Structure 1
Amino acid sequence: MIRRTALAPLLVGAALAAPAAAQELTEERVKDLALEAILENPEVVMEAVAILQQREAAAEEAARAEAVSDLSDDLFGGEDAPVLGNPDGDVTVVEFYDYNCGFCRRVAPTVEALIAADPQVRVVMREFPILSEESVAAARVSLAAMGQDGWTEMHKALMDGGRADAAAAMAAAEEAGMDLDAIEAALAGGAADEHIERSRALADALGIGGTPAFVIGDRVIPGAVPLEELEEAVANAREG
């Protein structure tokens, strides 16, 4: 909070010091007094900047919460996305991720721990391949494999493995015992591309520019955050 040494009291003091001129302060004189006050109290500027930054952050968070509310059906429905955890859970966590994102790989065990610790959590996995065309190719295969037994094992292999591309994703699917012909047929159907385009549109509307990013309740949480932060957000969403 700006201290009482801020500009307004200083200007009032200057005006009271010259009663005869108090009603005749020109715009130029006010500017001069303001400059003098800033030069004498430079910390006031930093405090004002901090307050403005806090207000901007609060406004941005409020705008994101409104966007989450407006897009809740597309975000939390998950009909076009793989789902981990409890499909009938009472709180849905949405994760935007890229298989070639190092931070996504770092947070993957955290998401697993969240699911293991809370049997009522449902996690919608939104493919958001933004790092390379290889990421797009891996995401398409993953989405084409959605619904088959073994998807979770394939997903984990891609998160644990090296560079992800179409070949790596197909190899992971084969290792998980999945039907590769069915994956090829699904790829030709175009649903994977529709999912990716929808993810991009949702991310743009929510101000998400990187991965990983989580949507829990009315909050957008960017980055590879610790388990405690995810658990707190889930608890708040459950209470709300």
Structure 2
Amino acid sequence: MAAKGNRAPSAAPAALPSLGGTRSSYRERVADALRAALIAGELRAGEVYSAPTLAVRFGVSATPVREAMLDLAKEGLVDTVPNKGFRVTAVSEKQLDEYKHIRALIEIPTTAELATSADPAALEALRPAAQAIVTAASDGDLIAYVEADIRFHLGLLALCGNDHLVEVVGDLRKRSRLYGLQALVDAGRLEASAEEHLEILDALLARDEEAVRAVMTRHLGHVRGLWAAE
């Protein structure tokens, strides 16, 4: 994967399966996978990645990759570098603290309220996503981990019926960086972190609002630790 000059990037995204479908779906799916790689820290801040090299990993032409990266540029996740590609933007400690604070204000009480308001069947429908997080952690697949994590948490928040709230949290998640994920994999601790998602779900199904609040508080605290660990 191309980086500044001829130097290889400090970390490259894991290989992804070829993407089938229409050009539009290529662009959307590549953008989703690139966001996950950014959030997982597999595309590193300050590195420059070329669309043609990224396209090889996705098994598509450079065009949908370039278009997807332009979408990420609009979201502030990358900057365009003329004649070279796209540089991943850095996130400051102050920004990370602000993201965590806003997420805690929104997600902890909203999720806790679902213990008394959510349909048990709708909660149970999120179990495959929670289990996918654990499976991805077991496999050490950081991109799959992040994608399943986003599906689970945004799916959970969607049960509150406030689309704008989900959009706000989704945007915060896009801007985050979980640089510490690989360290958890190396230490054999990622699976334990992943299992917190099942713990949240079980507490919700048990209608235990205080337990949900406690697990969510612990979970977001772990996430901030991941953000800080570069």
**TM range, smaller chain:** under 0.3
Which protein has the bigger strand share?
1
The TM-score with structure 2 as length reference comes to: 0.22
